[in-house]
A and B are shown apart, each in its own frame.
Chain A
Amino acid sequence: NAGVTQTPKFRVLKTGQSMTLLCAQDMNHEYMYWYRQDPGMGLRLIHYSVGEGTTAKGEVPDGYNVSRLKKQNFLLGLESAAPSQTSVYFCASRAPGLFNEQFFGPGTRLTVL
């Protein structure tokens, strides 16, 4: 099993450009999450999904959109990138039920110039 994978690993964008980050998991998990990690701020939840076709806002959703068309995939979109979105983005997945572990992907490092 590959676990949680993320594509791409690195990306550089210019202000105003758009892009989509792809997260895939092969563990048949219902729940999926997108976080951003910034120095000194830990990980902050952007959006999450509790199942195929459902999404919800997290702590810092502004400037991002998500879609969960297939259970195994969770896409994070930036419609008009801003320098403030320069960050490392992590996807995670989890099985429903109490106290289950969130499994994280390897991250995508995004720089917006």
Chain B
Amino acid sequence: QQQVKQSPQSLIVQKGGIPIINCAYENTAFDYFPWYQQFPGKGPALLIAIRPDVSEKKEGRFTISFNKSAKQFSLHIMDSQPGDSATYFCAASKTDGPDKLIFGTGTRLQVFP
């Protein structure tokens, strides 16, 4: 069962563009929504995360927008760079326990110079 749906599957942008990756979740008990970045041959690494008590969080060029009523959240990458080319995964979990992350299916981002 796919509890976190992610789109698009792949994304190609020019340097300086603003790619947007969207995720939707089903379980209203989720209260932690991280995004992970994965480079080829490496493990995922936490990029940025948000809790449902805020609608937006920014860290550098990365922004999460969160819409609790729609059960959706998205990642925006400002002024994208070739070094941002990676696979991005959204995830969700309930933090009142062992924090079992439910991952989206991933978005492969390519940023061309």
List chain A residues, Cβ under 8 A from B41. Answer: 106-107
Residues of B within 8 A of A41 (CB): 105
For the A-B complex, the count of residue pairs with Cβ-Cβ distances under 8 Å equals 59
Q: Dominant SS at the B interface?
A: loop
Interface residue range, chain B = 20 to 34
Give chain A residues whose Cβ lies under 8 Å from the Cβ of B98.
31, 48, 50, 56
Q: What is the bound-complex CA distance between A59 and B98, given in angstroms?
A: 14
**Is A74 close to B, CB under 8 A?**
no
Q: Are A42 and B100 interface neighbours, CB within 8 A?
A: no
Known: A45-B100, A94-B99, A99-B32. 15 other contacts (CB 8 A): A31-B98, A33-B101, A42-B6, A42-B103, A43-B44, A58-B100, A90-B43, A98-B32, A99-B51, A102-B46, A104-B45, A106-B41, A106-B42, A107-B42, A107-B43
Question: A: which residues have CB within 8 A of B?
Answer: 4, 31, 33, 35, 40-45, 48, 50, 56, 58-59, 90, 92, 94, 98-102, 104-107
